[in-house]
């Protein structure tokens, strides 16, 4: 924990001094930390996780404590690998009435996995020992988020009606990426985002504001594997209420509350609670 706080302090000091800035070309995002995280996990959460009636279709990791009930983990991982973890929790894990597929469980001190949790591939529960690696990844993810949020907008949105926002194709700036910016206040009445461009183009959608909420919301026309949704509300909050997001989500310090929502892409978050389905969808940068 002390190392984690020290590394966060170093990063925030560098950001304040202007020593950390975004790359002149978005091609740097091909090998960025969030791509590595999305490849490794369907859910990577930094903080307390409390989920019920939820499904994470790929592997999941929590840097913190986790309480899981009526859950399903890693169902869509290709095959059983008894030597690889499907669920990793650095702190205490309390789990009951669920399933962990295609791997084993890692948990920290105080972990209690009930016999009601089915682990067909490998029933083992081992102690988590690689906290440093995920702490260091967190620093890179915060930097990724900060740099992405500083990118200039290269494409525009327009209102179709009171509840629908159109995302217009970009002019080819920044190679194969289009960068959009949406204010959280615009989400109050939003029920649909609709993209009208080429599905092979990569989209970055920045959401600004201290808190954001998607309620009875859907995204249409978006290629989930090529859309990145970034929340620029450091240590803010995000509510997903009956929302359908077709994108990967990068919000490493954001507290997420979800009820009856589906994310068709990997999620990097702060704390998380509620009910959610995170589908196993590989993020494909340019």
User: What are the φ and ψ backbone dihedral angles of 54, each rounded to 5 degrees?
Assistant: -130, 155
What DSSP string runs through 4-46?
HHHHHHHHHHHHHHT-----SSGGGGGG-HHHHHHHH-SEEEE
Q: Residues 36-65: what's their mean pLDDT?
A: 96
* Sheet of 227-231, strands arranged across: 125-127, 104-107, 85-89, 60-63, 43-46, 267-269, 248-251, 227-231, 202-208, 177-183
pLDDT tops 70 at residue 5: no
pLDDT value of position 171:
65
**What is the value of pTM for the model shown?**
0.88
* Gyration radius (Cα) of the chain, Å: 19
Residues in the chain: 286
pLDDT value of position 200:
82
pLDDT tops 90 at residue 205: yes
Q: Residues 10-18: what's their mean pLDDT?
A: 42
Task: Kindly report which listed range (6-15, 99-108, 112-121, 221-230) carries the lowest average pLDDT score.
Answer: 6-15
Report the candidate in 282, 254, 280, 286 with the shortest Cα–Cα distance to residue 268. 254
Q: Residues 199-219: what's their mean pLDDT?
A: 92
Kindly report, residue by residue over 60-118, the tens digit of the pLDDT.
999 999 999 999 999 999 889 999 999 999 999 999 999 999 999 999 999 999 999 99
pLDDT tops 60 at residue 30: no
pLDDT value of position 6:
43
* Residue of 282 and 58 predicted with greater confidence: 58
What DSSP string runs through 185-204?
GGGSS--EEEE-S-TTSEEE
Q: Residues 208-236: what's their mean pLDDT?
A: 93
pLDDT value of position 175:
66
State the Cα–Cα distance between residues 132 and 63, nearest whole angstrom: 10
Kindly report, residue by residue over 135-160, the tens digit of the pLDDT.
888 999 998 899 889 888 989 999 99
Residue 73 · residue 90 · CB < 8 Å:
no
């Amino acid at each position: 924990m002390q190392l984690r706080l020290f590394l966060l302090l170093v990063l925030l000091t560098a950001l304040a001094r202007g020593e950390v800035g975004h790359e002149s070309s978005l091609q740097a995002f091909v090998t960025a930390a969030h791509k590595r995280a999305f490849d490794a996990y369907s859910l990577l959460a930094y903080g307390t996780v409390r989920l019920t009636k939820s499904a994470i279709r790929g592997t999941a990791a929590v840097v913190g404590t986790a309480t899981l009930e009526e859950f399903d983990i890693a169902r869509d991982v290709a095959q059983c690998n008894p030597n690889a973890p499907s669920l990793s929790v650095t702190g205490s894990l309390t789990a009951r009435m669920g399933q962990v597929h295609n791997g084993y469980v890692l948990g920290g001190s105080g972990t209690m996995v009930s016999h009601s949790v089915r682990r067909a591939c490998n029933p083992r529960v081992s102690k988590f020992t690689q906290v440093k690696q995920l702490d260091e990844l967190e620093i890179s993810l915060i930097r990724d988020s900060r740099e992405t949020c500083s990118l200039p907008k290269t494409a525009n949105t327009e209102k179709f009606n009171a509840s629908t926002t159109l995302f217009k194709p970009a002019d080819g700036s920044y190679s194969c990426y289009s960068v959009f910016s949406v204010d959280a206040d615009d989400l109050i009445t939003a029920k649909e985002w609709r993209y009208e461009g080429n599905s092979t183009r990569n989209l970055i959608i920045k959401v600004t504001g201290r808190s954001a909420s998607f309620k009875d919301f859907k995204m249409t026309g978006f290629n989930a594997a090529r859309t990145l949704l970034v929340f620029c509300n450091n240590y803010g909050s995000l509510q997903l209420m009956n929302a359908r997001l077709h994108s990967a989500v990068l919000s490493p310090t954001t507290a997420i509350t979800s009820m009856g929502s589906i994310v068709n892409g990997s999620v990097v978050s702060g704390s998380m609670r509620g009910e959610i389905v995170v589908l196993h969808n590989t993020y494909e940068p340019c």
